[in-house]
Amino acid sequence: MVDLHERSRILVVDDDPMNIYIVREVLGDGYEVQSASTGEQALALADEFGADLILLDVMMPDIDGYELCRRFRANPALAFTKVILVSAKSMLRDRLEGYRAGADDYIVKPFDPEELRAKVQVFLRLKSVEEVERVKDDIINVFSHETRTPLNTIIGFARLLDESSHLSGAEREAIQHIRDNGESLMELVDKTIFLASLRKGNCRLSLVSLRLDALLQAVFTKLAATIAEKRLTVQVVDPEQLTLVADETLLTTAVALVIENAIKFSPLGGTLVASGERHGRYLRLHIRDNGRGLPQSRLVALFNAFVVDDIAHHGQGHGLGLAIVKHVLRLHGGDISARNNPDACGCTFTLLLPDKVLPPA
Amino acid sequence: MGGKRILVIDDDRSLLRLVQIILGRRGNQVEVALSVQEAEGMLREQAPFNLIILDLMMPNENGFAFLHWQEEQPPPLRDIPVIMNTAKQLTPEEQQYLDRRCLKIIIKGINFTERLITEVESA
């Protein structure tokens, strides 16, 4: 395999020249390797060299390996740099101390060259995935926040024009297009920001006891206009009068997104059934529509953000709604799944919620 | 209907103009400032305002800086109610501070202008 990227940089820190020689032998062909034989030298070099990965001997004469590791970790410039401790010590206690100091992994001397190569590859790949994720988050963050204010202005001025009394039909239609598209874009931005905040995990659940029928009622009331537009029949099946413990705002949002999705795929005059059942420690909420159902290829990646099977033909969903639902349920210790109905008519989304929500570790 | 004297602080010219037109049409007297610094000058020198509408994220001094400055002013300046509007996702700490400090927080979103009108008229 030919790698066209720039070569990854590895810093070897060891006071024994023989060990440095061995590592150079093993890794020198595939990577840019530099070495340091004291702690001070390593600290100076790690930054300047821009190491992607540091192989760090635990027993250094001036600053010990654990302390060095902590100092690397405290340096924001090395935030993504991977540190593998190398030591002849193989006691569990030593390895645990290494992890506590911020090391990513531990390898015991004498090591097998193949294992070292494999480990280095795994951690370099992990580092690049983390960096890409970070860039993606930053882009999404900047883009969505910077879009909100101009969109407010576009939609606001369009509404202002719409208030004018002397407009022709064609002018009014043009304004309506500006408003519809502006609002659809704003909805995307809002969902993106919401999903990003869920992914970051800076969301605190405020748990309350809820009645399932009341929650469903609230959602159906909110969506009454679109339900009427499609002339849908709605059935709520909750013979046990179930209650659940959840964050009311988040769960209502999630259930509304699933039902909105079901409405979108329902035929005119179709039927929506929302049914609840208790199953061991879990409550299951099924949302069933009688639309066309989903192709197998779509079912697989249904809950991944930004996944659309045909980018040219996707609708208003942007694939974000269901990703939000999945995050909300997982925050509650539950999950969501979807399958086509066995009678080959429409599909059913099942939301799973535990009766106790445990705080994250 | 309104009849309030309102100061709107936002670094975005078109949004300022939009808010000025919308609230002006409802009978309010609306003045605008493009920065916290400009707003502070107007509040000190001009006739008293009944309400301040403040954008949170601005270059240089932001909405938080304005709120801290306002807290240190003598009444009645210190007591002018503030409606905060923001495009930023607030952290729980920021949310807590703003809940205590502001009359209302409006997240810039689809119904921004409607909500702004409602909040201004009930202020």
Query: What is the number of CB-based contacts under 8 A between chain A and chain B?
Result: 50
Other beta carbons within 10 angstroms of residue A146's beta carbon come to: 13
CB atoms A196 and B91 under 8 Å = no
Q: Would the CB atoms of A152 and B108 count as touching at under 8 Å?
A: yes
Is the previous residue joined to B48 through a cis bond, with omega within 30 degrees of 0?
no
- Residue A212 has a pLDDT of 92
Question: pLDDT by residue (tens digit) across A109-144?
Answer: 888 999 999 999 999 999 999 998 888 888 888 888
pLDDT band at A317 (very low <50, low <70, confident <90, very high): low
Residues of chain A found within 8 Å of residue B14, distances taken between Cβ atoms: 150, 153, 157
CA gap A44, A56 in Å, rounded: 14
Q: Is A159 on the interface with B (CB under 8 A)?
A: yes
DSSP sequence for chain B: ----EEEEE-S-HHHHHHHHHHHHHTT-EEEEESSHHHHHHHHHHSSPPSEEEEES--SSS-HHHHHHHHHTSPTTGGG--EEEEESSPPPHHHHHHHHHH-SEEEE-STTHHHHHHHHHHH-
pLDDT(A241) > 70:
yes
| Rg of chain A taking only CA atoms, in angstroms | 28
Q: Is A152 on the interface with B (CB under 8 A)?
A: yes
Nearest to A227 by CA among A184, A258, A272: A272
Task: Tell me what pLDDT residue A288 has.
Answer: 93
pLDDT at res. A94: 86
* Cα Rg of chain B (Å, integer): 13
In the predicted structure, residue A152 carries a pLDDT above the cut 50 = yes
C-alpha to C-alpha distance for A283 and A351, rounded to whole angstroms: 8
Greater model confidence, A145 or A337: A337
Is B103 within 8 Å of B80 (Cβ atoms)?
no
Which amino acid is it at A342?
A: P
CA B50 to mean position of chain CA atoms:
11
Q: Taking residues B37-45, what's their average pLDDT?
A: 94
Contacts of B91 in chain A (CB under 8 A): 202
Q: Which of A153, A190, A202 sits opposite B91 (nearest CB)?
A: A202
Which tokens go with A285?
Answer: 């909420």
In this complex, the residue of A153, A186, A196 whose CB is nearest that of residue B14 is A153
Nearest residue, CB atoms, B108 vs list A148, A197, A204: A148
Q: Which residues are CB-neighbours of A287 under 8 A, at least 6 positions away? A: A255, A258, A259, A262, A272, A273, A274, A348, A349, A350, A351
Helices (H), chain A: 17-27, 39-49, 65-73, 92-100, 113-162, 169-200, 212-222, 224-229, 248-264, 296-300, 321-331
Q: How far apart are CA A106 and CA A103, in angstroms?
A: 7
Residue of chain B with shortest Cα separation from A163: B22
Question: A34 by DSSP, 3-state: which?
Answer: strand
User: For chain A, what is the mean pLDDT?
Assistant: 87
The whole-number average pLDDT for the span A203-210 is: 83
For residues A263 and A222, the answer to whether their CB atoms sit within 8 Å is: no
Using one digit for the tens of pLDDT, what is the confidence trace for B52-108? 999 998 888 899 999 999 999 998 999 999 999 887 778 888 889 999 999 999 987
Cβ within 8 Å, pair B112-A145: no
Q: Across the interface, which of B88, B91, B112 has its CB nearest the CB of A156?
A: B112
Nearest CA in chain B to A160: B22
A181 to chain B, any CB pair closer than 8 A? The answer is no
Q: For A252-309, write each residue's pLDDT tens digit.
A: 999 999 999 899 889 999 999 999 999 888 999 999 998 888 777 777 777 776 654 4
Of B41, B33, B1, B36, the closest CA to residue B15 belongs to B33
Structure tokens at B6: 């309102």
**Whether A193 and B89 lie within 8 Å, measured CB to CB:** yes
A84: helix, strand or coil: strand
Chain B residue numbers touching A157 (CB-CB < 8 A):
14, 18
> What's the half-sphere exposure (Cβ side, CA atoms, 13 Å) at A100?
7
Q: Which residues of A fall within a CB distance of 8 Å from B53?
A: none
AA letter at A64: D
How wide is the angle at C-alpha B111 spanned by C-alphas B59 and A144, nearest 5°? 45
**pLDDT at res. A315:** 47
Chain B CB contacts of A149 under 8 Å are 12, 15, 87, 108
In order of A163, A304, A333, B86, the CA distances from A182 in angstroms are 17, 25, 36, 18
Distance CA A172, CA A157 (A): 13
The answer to whether A86 and A56 have CB atoms below 8 angstroms apart is: yes
